[in-house]
């Protein structure tokens, strides 16, 4: 809500001063030492917290959540990216944030073959218990959400606007269905509209939430390539479906393949890279209801990845004894939060 502070600046301030609350109790000198402009310091020191009452009230309504970075409810995959959102607004079932996800993105003006490929891949991903994550845009994104819903699967839409708005407007009914059966999320305040930077910002969240990104169709200057770039920067796999050398909508995918993306012909090309799916098949349409976690266990769970994590790695990350780690892992396994696999544990 303060002009002049973006995601990166906010994260640096929180790291420098210790917490978000500390920013608003800091002295003028302390804020100056953070190299903030005078106009920004003035906004911080004059900030009226009554301005946030309506936003907090928004999150108190059914099926809505406000999840700050650092919360046990914040998705760990997303927290690992370079500039994670400092807060997430959610509409629907926030537990899906902890489900294994594949991003499916592509052209806003796809070919008939592109739409058919989207439907086939999303249906098969859902059958494997994978949540399909996309950006609610026209074209491939919208088709990915529709295919997931029609196959009784799970889907997450990352919005480029606040959640009191829907963009594009023709996806209002689709957004309603996703919120009812899946989840819509945004880092924007509920009433914020779209702007020039909305979609690149949204794309980094799509990639950050997901174990990998599938690009179905994309021209050379497609926004989907931004999502793919974000996935690569986060150390995630990128999958690209090849097409005709004469089609402009294939050139973006072919370029990704030249740069190291995995040439993807079948869903098995994706599934073989996801040990969490190979070792624990999930029935389509299953609800990710698990036993509620205590704060301490939720913090411990962050040390376990969605791929095989050796127990010595978990011990090193948590700084606990082997016995303590073993006991916690057994409890989390019984409650459905992790599975024991050859070589370690996998978060579910």
Place of tokens 């928004």: 58
The alpha carbons of the chain give a radius of gyration, in whole angstroms, of 21
How far apart CA 276 and CA 268 sit, in angstroms, is 14
Query: How do residues 61-93 score in pLDDT, each as one tens digit?
Result: 999 999 999 888 899 889 989 889 999 999 999
**Per-residue pLDDT band at 334 (split at 50, 70, 90):** confident
* pLDDT given at position 282: 42
CA distances 197 to 5, 110, 188, 200, Å, are 14, 23, 12, 6
pLDDT tens column, 264-288: 999 999 998 886 554 444 444 444 4
Residue 194 is encoded by which pair of tokens? 């779209």
Rounded mean pLDDT, 236-258: 95
Q: What is the structure's pLDDT at 296? A: 85
With a cut of 90, say whether residue 56 has pLDDT above it: yes
What gap in Å lies between CA 45 and CA 66, rounded to an integer?
24
Over residues 159-181, the mean pLDDT reads 97
The answer to whether residues 117 and 216 touch, using CB atoms and an 8 Å cutoff, is yes
What number is the average pLDDT over the span 326-347? 82
Q: 224-233 vs 248-258: helix axis angle to the nearest 10?
A: 10
Domains annotated on the chain, with CATH = 1-47 (no CATH), 92-278 (3.40.50.450), 295-347 (1.10.10.10)
Give the pair of three-digit tokens for residue 324: 């303590």
d(CA 140, CA 49): 41
Contact between residue 207 and residue 236 where contact means Cβ atoms under 8 Å apart: yes
Poorest-pLDDT segment among 177-186, 229-238, 332-341: 332-341
Higher pLDDT, 334 or 67: 67
Asked if residue 117 lies in contact with residue 89, where contact means CB atoms within 8 angstroms, the answer is no
Please count the CA atoms within 13 angstroms of the CA of 58 that sit on its side-chain side. Answer: 18
pLDDT band at 339 (very low <50, low <70, confident <90, very high): confident
Quote the percentage of the chain above a pLDDT of 90: 69
84-133 tens-digit pLDDT:
999 999 999 999 999 999 999 999 999 999 999 999 999 999 999 999 99
């Amino acid at each position: 809500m303060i002009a002049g502070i973006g995601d990166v600046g906010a994260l640096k301030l929180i790291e420098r001063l210790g917490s978000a609350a500390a920013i608003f109790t800091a002295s003028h000198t302390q804020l100056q030492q953070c190299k903030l402009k005078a106009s920004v310091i003035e906004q911080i020191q004059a900030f009226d917290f009554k301005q946030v009452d309506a936003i907090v009230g928004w999150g108190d309504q059914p099926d809505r959540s406000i999840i700050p970075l650092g919360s046990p409810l914040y998705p760990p995959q997303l927290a690992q990216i370079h500039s994670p959102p400092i807060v997430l607004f959610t509409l629907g079932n926030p537990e899906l944030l902890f489900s294994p996800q594949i991003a499916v993105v592509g052209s806003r003006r796809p070919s008939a073959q592109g739409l058919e490929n989207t439907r086939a891949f999303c249906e098969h991903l859902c059958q494997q218990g994978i949540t399909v994550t996309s950006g609610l845009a026209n074209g491939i994104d919208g088709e990915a959400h529709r295919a997931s819903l029609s196959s009784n699967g799970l889907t997450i839409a990352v919005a480029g606007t606040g959640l009191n708005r829907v963009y594009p407007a023709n996806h209002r009914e689709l957004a309603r269905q996703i919120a009812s059966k899946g989840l819509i999320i945004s880092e924007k305040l509920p009433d914020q509209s779209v702007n020039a930077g909305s979609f690149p910002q949204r794309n980094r969240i799509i990639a950050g939430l997901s174990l990998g990104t599938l690009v179905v169709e994309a021209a050379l200057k497609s926004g989907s390539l931004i999502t793919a770039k974000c996935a690569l920067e986060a150390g995630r796999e990128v999958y690209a479906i090849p097409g005709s050398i004469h089609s402009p909508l294939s050139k973006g995918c072919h370029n990704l393949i030249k740069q190291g993306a995995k040439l993807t012909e079948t869903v098995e090309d994706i599934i073989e890279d996801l040990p969490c799916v190979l070792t624990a098949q999930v029935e389509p349409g299953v609800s990710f209801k698990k036993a509620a976690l205590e704060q301490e266990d939720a913090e411990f769970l962050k040390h376990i990845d969605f791929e095989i994590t050796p127990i010595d790695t978990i011990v090193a990350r948590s700084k606990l004894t082997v016995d303590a780690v073993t006991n916690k892992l057994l409890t989390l396994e019984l409650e459905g939060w992790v599975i024991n696999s050859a070589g370690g544990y996998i978060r579910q």
